[in-house]
Amino acid sequence: MAALALGALAGCSDTSGGKADPTAGATRKAAAPVRLPVPDGFDTGTGWSTSASPEATDVESGSSGFPLVAVAPKSGLVVQAAADGSRVRAFSLASGKTVWAFTPRALTSARTGVFVQEGKAGEKVVLARQGKTSGSGLSTSRRTTTIDVIAADSASKATADHHLDLTAPDDTASSFTATDSGFLVGPVTDGVHEKAVTIDAVTGAQRTVQKKTMTVSGCGSGSCAIQASPAFATSQGVVSAFQQQDGCDQWAEGGTPCTYGFRVGDAWTSTSVAPSGMHVSIPLAVTGQYLVAAWHTSDTQTDPPALTDMDKTILAVHDLATGKIKARVSCTSADALTLQPGAAQSSTRFSPNGDFLVSGQAGFDLATGRGHCFTSTASTKGIDLTAVADDGTAYGIVHVVDDTEATSLYGRLPIAQDGTDTPERDSARVSVRSGTAKALAAASEVPLYVAADGHGLFRTRDVVAVYPAS
């Protein structure tokens, strides 16, 4: 199976004889869609598909990536951007019909990401690009980051509600860090920003956020001063991650372990909701009104937190507004995966009815508060989950550990490297209710989204396809 990531693909070629348009739309209604090898339960004889050049793929993973496809679930849309950022199209998830198209101001050498934000004003599509202005006439060419915000319910010829032009320093490589309710632009190191700009998709307002000193309680045996760095933005404010710098020495007799943690806006701090004995907490992802975090005891003062087979890690779903734990599960992993802020953002999503949540290699039944781990053991491989249906059936990619950074991080889906062949990967179907897992047939694709009516969104490096339930 081709390597997968949340929404990373361009569209098909224009057959009009002009320049190829990678968002040129779905297969015509009269034509059969491309038949991908998919699990039982999806009808590949109907539905719709697009095709794309193998060069038009994501080359970065996780929440700081540059996805070219996103889903607007409430609007029932699949939104697709051209790799060069020259056009965006929104297709009906059910039919593949083009609902609207958007043509932004031209940039050269652009890198593009498309995201969907949800709020009281409805769903907004955010087109984020890094590139250069044309430098025509008397104007000189310059590097820039542009943000265009388009309403998901736009008319056929969409226009941007907001257009932002952020001058990009020549020595700075910015990334886009997005949740479904917040958006940050800025350089990212190990999952956090030293300095970033947060964008409000509703108003278009921008605000600079940066690393700052604050005092938190619950560091070991008392309060401590820490440096907190922005990780991602949410409806409750910016989530900042921190590591205790002093006042701890776990190696001395009776020493105090160092604390890793995070703060959610001005609402709450991880140390105030920590499970007993847990001194390390990493915010992994946000979706809807929940934040997913990893918790475990402190191992060393220098090594980054990791999910290992030595100590159990609690993976917990927190209420984003209060910090209260909604569901939790204890996991170990034979793969020793690094826990990094925001790393599981691309693999975290709800079932359409909101009863189930998958994140990384764990699935949660929110009604019962129970979860199940699909992590590796000495005899089994881990499963990176990609989608979950209303009945708790989830799908995922069998985790492969290699020398790339993406496979060493917990929760980050594998990404095809630009211009290279993608090895086939094994896949699996799991039950979030029972915790059982079953391998799928060789080369089976897995959905990246399953709609309430059963439509499944699939992608390889060459095709985006939507098939109805069979």
pTM of the model: 0.89
Whole-number pLDDT of residue 277? 82
Q: How far separated are the first and last CA of the chain, in Å rounded?
A: 22
Task: Render pLDDT for 153-196 as a digit per residue (tens, 0 to 9).
Answer: 999 999 999 999 987 666 667 888 999 999 999 988 889 999 99
Q: Which of 14, 172, 180, 141 is nearest to 86 (CA)?
A: 14
Q: What percent of the chain has pLDDT over 90?
A: 60
Whole-number pLDDT of residue 8? 31
Q: Which two tokens stand for residue 12?
A: 């098909």
Residue 157 carries which DSSP code? Answer: B
Token look-up 């990373």 returns 8
Task: Render pLDDT for 236-245 as a digit per residue (tens, 0 to 9).
Answer: 999 999 988 7
Neighbours of 325 (CB within 10 A): 16
Mean pLDDT of 119-125: 93
- Cα gap 259→299, rounded to integer Å: 10
Whole-number pLDDT of residue 455? 96
Task: Render pLDDT for 2-37 as a digit per residue (tens, 0 to 9).
Answer: 333 333 322 233 333 334 454 555 544 446 788 999
Mean pLDDT score of the chain, rounded to an integer?
85
Identify the band that residue 63 occupies on the pLDDT scale cut at 50, 70 and 90.
Answer: very low
The secondary structure element, H or E, covering residue 239 is strand 237-244
b/e per residue 389-413 (b: at least 16 CB within 10 A) = bbebbbbbbbbbeeeeebbbbbbbb
Residue 75 carries which DSSP code? Answer: T
**Amino acid (1-letter code) at residue 425:** R
Answer with the residue of higher pLDDT: 215 or 317.
317
Whole-number pLDDT of residue 380? 94
Whole-number pLDDT of residue 423? 57
Identify the band that residue 133 occupies on the pLDDT scale cut at 50, 70 and 90.
Answer: confident
- Cα gap 457→132, rounded to integer Å: 33
- Cα gap 304→296, rounded to integer Å: 12
- Cα gap 181→286, rounded to integer Å: 8
Identify the weakest region by mean pLDDT among 2-16, 105-119, 283-297.
2-16
Whole-number pLDDT of residue 5? 37
Identify the band that residue 55 occupies on the pLDDT scale cut at 50, 70 and 90.
Answer: very low
Identify the weakest region by mean pLDDT among 261-265, 303-307, 326-330.
303-307
Q: What percent of the chain has pLDDT over 70?
A: 81
Q: Is the pLDDT of residue 60 over 70?
A: no
Whole-number pLDDT of residue 245? 75
Whole-number pLDDT of residue 17? 36
Identify the band that residue 297 occupies on the pLDDT scale cut at 50, 70 and 90.
Answer: confident
Whole-number pLDDT of residue 31? 65
* Residue 128 vs residues 23, 88, 164: alpha-carbon distances, Å: 16, 11, 10
Residue 134 carries which DSSP code? Answer: -
Identify the band that residue 393 occupies on the pLDDT scale cut at 50, 70 and 90.
Answer: very high
Q: Which two tokens stand for residue 6?
A: 């949340």
Is there a contact between 341 and 211 (Cβ–Cβ < 8 Å)? no
Identify the weakest region by mean pLDDT among 7-11, 213-217, 307-311, 455-459.
7-11
Whole-number pLDDT of residue 300? 56
Q: Which two tokens stand for residue 385?
A: 């989950």
Backbone angles phi, psi at 307, to 5 degrees: -95, 110
**Amino acid (1-letter code) at residue 112:** T
Q: Is 42 exposed, middle or buried (0-12, 13-18, 19+ CB in 10 A)?
A: buried
- Cα gap 50→291, rounded to integer Å: 33
Q: Is the pLDDT of residue 123 over 50?
A: yes
Residue 462 carries which DSSP code? Answer: S
CATH numeric code, 48-467 = 2.130.10
Whole-number pLDDT of residue 23? 53
